[in-house]
Amino acid sequence: MRNLIYGRQPVLEALRAQKRIFERLILRQGTRGEAIDEILGMAQKFQIPVEWKREEDFREMVGEVAHQGVILVATSRGSYSWQEFLERIVGNPRVVVGFVDRVEDPRNLGAIIRTASFFGLPGLVVSKARTTPLHSQTVKAACGGIEFLDLFQVNNFVNVFRAFKERGFFMVGMEEDAPTLIWDVDVKDVPVGIVVGGEDQGVRKLVRSECDFLVKIPAIGSVSSLNVSVAFGIGVYEVVRQKRSVVNVEKRRNH
């Protein structure tokens, strides 16, 4: 599938990751800067054709967005299935995978992708139904994070969710009305799936029923709820923190 990646940081990360086939680089006439120099240097290294176009041409390609004078036209090299991904990671008690169901705002999905990449998650499973597509706006919001993890947009989200659970993953659903606080669940020694739901309705009832735990982040201040991408980040941090504490204890014992 052909993608238009725009914005200086997303383009740089795509070039650095080298996970795609690069067709051409398009720069706005007069665009300059250190990042542009680095992008041009990498384009020369990878023998990517470079075109210079007017601002009007950019608007025709990507609309009124913050493209920062650079567009990279690229296609995927071909990916493997979520089943193959599961086989690669099954049995690893340190692994954490994100599950995203019906998040409709591309900025929220992009932020979730960025967060997952920041914390080193190997992959995200995203529902196709009522979830924003993985288009240029989502890639831009991810700030390059999409280049460093495996992303699977699936039709039957619940069945995929169950498949991970059946292979030993403990599924943690994040809901603001959940009965358990997030730090009261011990997931140090098991593979974990963290699931967040849509902006309006949260995790669907059917998905909730499949979760091993439903957890919440307690509100201390006057605001009662969090943006879905922020909640996802806090949830991932807590799980990763628990798993890192186990690693640190093991390291101290070995010294």
Query: How many separate domains does the chain show?
Result: 2
The residues with which 128 forms a beta bridge, in sequence order, are none
Does 101 lie in the same domain as 63? no
Is residue 24 located within the same domain as residue 113?
no
Over residues 102-144, the pLDDT tens digits come to: 888 888 888 898 899 889 899 999 998 877 766 556 655 565 5
Mark which of 43, 76, 109 sits at the end of a domain: 76
> What is the CATH number for 137?
3.40.1280.10
Check whether residue 138 and residue 87 sit in a common domain. Answer: yes
For the stretch 162-178, pLDDT in tens is: 999 999 999 999 998 89
Indicate whether 112 and 236 sit together in one domain: yes
Same domain, 143 and 226: yes
Its domain, for residue 197, covers 82-254
**pLDDT at site 148:** 66
pLDDT for 199: 78
Residues 25 and 87 in one domain: no
Half-sphere exposure (CA, 13 Å, Cβ side) for 204? 14
Which of 29, 58, 76 corresponds to the end of one domain?
A: 76
Q: Which of 19, 48, 76 is the last residue of a domain?
A: 76
For residues 156 and 249, state if they share a domain.
Answer: yes
Please give the pLDDT value at position 145.
56
Residues 27 and 96 in one domain: no
- Whole-number pLDDT of residue 137: 62
pLDDT, averaged per 10 consecutive residues of the chain (255 residues), comes to 79 82 90 91 90 89 84 75 92 94 87 89 89 63 65 92 96 92 93 91 91 91 81 94 72 57
